[in-house]
Amino acid sequence: MNSMEMISIYENVAEITDRMLNAAKSADWDLLTELERTCYNSVQEIQNKDTNLELPLEIKNKKIAIIKKILADDKEIRDITEPWMLQLSKLMKNSESNRKLSQSYGND
């Protein structure tokens, strides 16, 4: 695989993470989940095909910029989703506790 093909895959991941960020911002969890799967497949492709070619400086700088954008998007997505996941976890624990109490003491 040549350097331009590899950059194209990195750009694809950056586009996907941008869409993931927009989905997270609009709380579209189904779309976010779908995009996560797509992103995972693209990252697997990078891991399988990126042979650490010696890149020309311009291409290397472009690759670095793309990776920085992917990481920035990932951080922002986590900043949005982690509090939501924590809240969901608390709700599930509460629900489980209520269910156990109901089983132990009845629904009276």
Residue 27 per-residue DSSP state? T
Q: pLDDT tens digits for 79-92? A: 999 887 787 777 77
**Which residue has 């990252």 as its token pair?**
43
pLDDT above 80 (res 55): yes
60 confidence band (pLDDT: 50, 70, 90): very high
Map out the domains of the chain with their CATH numbers: 3-105 (1.20.58.380)
The burial of 70, by beta-carbon neighbours within 10 Å (0-12 exposed, 13-18 middle, 19 or more buried), is given as buried
2 confidence band (pLDDT: 50, 70, 90): confident
User: Would you report the helix, strand and coil content of the chain in percent, each value rounded to 5?
Assistant: 85, 0, 15
**Helix intervals (H) in the chain:** 3-25, 29-49, 57-105
Q: Which residues are CB-neighbours of 84 under 8 A, at least 6 positions away?
A: 27
* pLDDT, position 107: 61
| Cα dihedral 41, 45, 46, 47 in deg (nearest 10) | 100
Identify the three-state secondary structure at position 51: coil
